[in-house]
């Protein structure tokens, strides 16, 4: 299943307290050792150990910042959702069954399963007369199978069928 395209206007999600802590650790290491290149897996392991051993007072500033991030995200999402609803209302108002273009109007009405009727107004008589045109629906093509070769060898029997062949005489003997 393909991914949905990302909306550039959608606000970014809130950052967790742990993520803020890891960013801070990485920044400290970059400032202390600018020439050193360290694998981020090693850094994240060290950060996770430090996070586990920290008490609540040390984690407090990260938790407060994360809470501010959550509030910001909720506010921005509320605004974003309102804008999306307004856009959907505007689109639904303009995209009804009757589509208006600068030159003509087109109305598609379902008639049968196989056809739709397309009503095209005549431009010469100022949209008072309409012309009916039948538009056939595309029919799916059936796939043709290759003819089976009668001389082709058969596949070998599976273990279950071999077992059934051995057991069939016993079962028939016990039933009669």
164 pLDDT exceeds 60?
yes
pTM: 0.47
163 pLDDT exceeds 90?
yes
Q: Residue 111 contacts by C-beta under 8 Å, 6 or more apart in sequence?
A: 117
pLDDT of residue 171: 92
Mean predicted lDDT score pLDDT of the chain: 78
Highest mean pLDDT, choosing among 8-12, 39-43, 48-52, 160-164: 160-164
Label residue 90 by pLDDT band (50, 70, 90): confident
Highest mean pLDDT, choosing among 24-38, 79-93, 124-138, 160-174: 160-174
Distance between CA atoms of residues 11 and 77, nearest Å: 6
Distance between CA atoms of residues 96 and 92, nearest Å: 6
Q: Would you say domain 1-99 falls under CATH 1.10.357.10? A: no
Higher confidence at residue 41 or residue 96? Answer: 41
pLDDT of residue 113: 47
Distance between CA atoms of residues 25 and 131, nearest Å: 73
Distance between CA atoms of residues 7 and 25, nearest Å: 31
Distance between CA atoms of residues 109 and 96, nearest Å: 12
| 54, 62, 110 from 57: Cα distances, Å | 8, 10, 68
The structural domains of the chain, with segments of one domain joined by +, span: 1-99
pLDDT of residue 122: 54
């Amino acid at each position: 299943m393909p991914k949905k395209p990302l909306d550039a206007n959608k606000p970014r999600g809130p950052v967790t307290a742990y993520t803020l802590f890891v960013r801070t650790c990485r920044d400290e290491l970059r400032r202390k050792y600018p020439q050193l290149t360290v694998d981020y897996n090693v850094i994240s392991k060290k950060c996770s150990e430090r996070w586990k051993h920290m008490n609540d007072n040390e984690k407090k500033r990260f938790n407060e910042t994360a809470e501010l991030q959550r509030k910001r995200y909720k506010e921005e999402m509320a605004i974003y959702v309102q804008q999306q609803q307004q856009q959907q209302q505007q689109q639904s108002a303009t995209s009804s069954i009757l589509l208006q273009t600068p030159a003509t109007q087109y109305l598609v009405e379902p008639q049968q399963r196989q056809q739709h009727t397309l009503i095209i107004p005549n431009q010469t008589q100022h949209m008072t007369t309409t012309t009916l045109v039948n538009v056939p629906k595309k029919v799916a093509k059936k796939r043709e199978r290759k003819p089976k070769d009668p001389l082709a060898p058969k596949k070998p029997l599976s273990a279950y069928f071999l077992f059934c062949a051995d057991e069939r005489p016993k079962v028939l003997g016990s039933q009669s």
